[in-house]
Structure 1
Amino acid sequence: MIEALEIPTAAGTFDALACGSSGGREVMLLHGFPESAIQWEFQLGALGNGGCRVVAPDQRGYSPGVRPERVEAYRLEEFVGDVAAIADELGWQCFDLVGHDLGGYVAWAAAAAFPARVRTLTAISTPHPAAFLRAITEDEDQAQRSQYFEMLRRPRVAERILLADNAAALRKIFDWKIPEERVEDYVHRFTQPAALTAALNWYRAMHLAGPTPPVDVATLYVWSTEDTAFGSTAALATADHVTGPYRFEMLEDISHWIPEQAPEALTMLLMEHLLAHRG
């Protein structure tokens, strides 16, 4: 059964969803944009009922209790610190880390920063940041795919565009690949005061991030062929930035929204990865 949690930290109180009994294998799930912890509903239930203790927080800016106003408060190092603080509050010394989209961006950096604590990494959709930065600079296809970043970084303009006409542009981001009721949930969250600005501040603070080192922990990277945000150049180059055991899986005919569009396939891969690396 999925339960709601509140996780107090020095930065504020994070809302979270959890499943599984205490004492189970600890797994943290990090959502992306423009979503929330509920994107992991299927994985929470499957892993929680399979012997894991799974926690999916609403990340910084998405949890009302951790919604600072300054753009600088959305630097990558702050998100990485949040992962450690949440794990500390949960009493987790070692845990498996899973991230999708911007949650994957955080997960790569956290795995690089805390190799002694992150047992395994599963990155979904998002390539290693160094592979992505090189692709966006050298690969015309990736540069075209990433043009939306500039719009999202425009203060007030992005909010106005995304929420106009009953949030038509925000809804269009999902490309009708996930259930309509889930989209309605996300849209409702972003119509709350300051919620969308906080989520967009992730993009507005990206220039403040330093380089992400190679990752030494056992890593599963899942990419899908119909992903409009991340092309094959960065996906295939990600192997060059993992020095530990590495597995790359490609899902055919699936969009960017893997956890919700292909929940069974993703969860099977995730379970195989966890079972292969018990240490």
Structure 2
Amino acid sequence: MVEHRTVTVGELRLHTAEEGEGPLVLLLHGFPECWYNWRHQFTPLAGAGYRVVAPDQRGYARSDRPAAVEEYTILHLVGDVIGLIHALGARQAVVVGHDLGSMVAWSTALMRPDVIRGVVGLSVPPPQRGPVPPLQAMRERFGGQFYWNYFQTPGVADAELAKDPHATFRRVMYGLSGDIPHSDPPVEPLVPPGKGFLDLFEDPEELPGWLTEADIDTLATEFTEAGFTSALNWYRNFDRNWQLTAPWDGAQYRMPGRYLTGDRDLVYGFPGMDQRIPALPTLHPTVGPAHILPGCGHWIAEERPGEVNAALLDFLGTLNS
């Protein structure tokens, strides 16, 4: 059974959901997610002999939400993970991340290889530093319409997403899934002038089989009080993170890793991914080739829990052998 509690990490209070005993496995959610998005992973991993902990990360759901934008840099987020591992009484952990949680997982593994004994990223591959800051690069490529850039203006996306959290999650969960009508090439996530992020997605008449109205209600409830500003602040630090992570440019992972994605994930279609993902075995030999799930969209752990859990257990088994 999943147990909930609050863990103090430095000056921050993080809500955690936990099940099982054994070696520590941290599950780090992405945007706009929380502990609940790992609901299908708790029992299978705990049943296999692992202590599974999924925090609401800084700024999300039931965890603390610092006011300043500058308190959401990648160094803050990595510090939270390391602090949480120690607060849970562990010396080391395996970190598994999805979406922006993958960014945190990969970065934590690079920055603290003494603490992270294995790393898995879902959707977002290991970071690769570009020649210019990422927000600048997307602004120049897409005329400021890429959704990362839309998220930068204080108060705009915040209000749009918070207006009706239930509708927000219905649109985003369905719209980024592998169940939407297929287009080739994939539609770029561009927000035209005068439009909003949610205008990119339809409100489905019927949810796909892996997602229920109860799931939508739970996610909406988790964000009704928290809102979306603190979560959006992660995006508002992308260029700052580019500056802060310069010392790790070209660094490789010292521990085993694994990368899983769906071929219908919007991140899979981002500019440069067609070269970056096939190059993973060369760029990061301990991570090796990508595991690509055909027909799967962005919410890989929820759309394909059986396959993801099998891959996670296989990976964890290699660390114990």
Superposition TM-score, scaled by structure 2 size: 0.77
1:118 maps to 116
Q: Which residue of 1 aligns with 2:151?
A: 152
Aligned position for 2:278 = 236
The equivalent of 2:314 in structure 1 is: 272
Gaps of 5+ in 2: 178-210
**1:168 alignment partner in structure 2:** 167
SS of 2:26's partner is strand
Q: CA deviation at 1:83?
A: 0.4
Superposition deviation, residue 10 in structure 1? 0.9
Cα deviation, 1:10-42, whole Å, max 9, x if unaligned, reads 132110111102xx1211110111110111111
The CA deviation at 1:73 is 0.2
Q: How far off its partner does 1:171 sit?
A: 3.1
Residues 217, 132 of structure 1: alpha-carbon distance in 2 compared, 3 angstrom cutoff: farther
| 1:115 CA drift (Å) | 1.1
What amino acid maps onto 1:128 in structure 2? P
1:214 to 236, 240, 252: 252
CA contact (8 A) 2:81 2:108 kept: yes
Q: Percent identity?
A: 30
Q: Distance in 2 between matches of 1:63 and 1:14?
A: 10
From the two aligned structures, give the one with the greater helix fraction.
1
Q: How many residues align?
A: 272
Distance in 2, Cα, partners of 1:185 & 1:94: 31
Q: What's the offset of the Cα at 1:206?
A: 1.4
Seen in structure 2, the aligned counterparts of structure 1 residues 179 and 216 have a Cα distance that, compared at 3 Å, is farther
Which amino acid counterpart does residue 225 of structure 1 have in structure 2? D
In the TM superposition, 1:60-79 aligns within 5 A as 60-79=58-77
The verdict on how the C-alpha distance between 1:153 and 1:170 changes in structure 2, with shifts beyond 3 A counting, is farther
Counterpart secondary structure, 1:128: coil
Bigger shift: residues 266-275 or 221-230: 221-230
TM-score by length of 1: 0.88
- CA deviation after TM superposition for structure 1 residue 161, in Å: 2.2
8 Å Cα contact 2:56-2:63 kept in structure 1: no
Residue 103 of structure 1 aligns with an amino acid whose one-letter code is G
Counterpart position of 2:199 = none
Q: Deviations over 1:149-179 (max 9, x none)?
A: 1112221111122234665345312126433
8 Å contact kept, 1:128–1:241 = no
Equivalent in 232, 243, 250 of residue 200 of structure 1: 232
**CA 1:245–1:227 in 2, change beyond 3 Å: closer, same or farther?**
closer
- Match of residue 249, structure 1, among 266, 285, 291: 291
1:12 aligns with 2:12: yes
| Counterparts in 2 of 1:199 and 1:104: CA distance versus 1, 3 Å | same
| Structure 2 equivalent of residue 186 of structure 1 | 219
Q: Residue 55 of structure 1 corresponds to which residue in structure 2?
A: 53
Q: What is the match of residue 265 of structure 2?
A: 227
C-alpha distance 165-89 of structure 1, shift in aligned 2 (>3 A): closer
Which residue identity is paired with 1:27? Answer: V
Q: 1:226 is matched by which residue type in structure 2?
A: R
**Amino acid of the structure 1 residue aligned with 2:13:** T
Please report the RMSD computed on the Cα atoms of aligned residues, expressed in angstroms. 2.5
8 Å CA contact retained: 1:13, 1:63: no
CA distance in 1, matches of 2:310, 2:235: 31
Q: Which has the larger radius of gyration?
A: 2
Please tell me whether the aligned partners of residues 266 and 298 of structure 2 are also in contact (alpha carbons under 8 angstroms): yes
SS in 2 for 1:254: coil
Q: Given the superposition, is the C-alpha separation of residues 33 and 65 from structure 1 closer, same or farther in structure 2, using an over 3 Å criterion?
A: closer
How far is 1:183 from its partner? 2.3
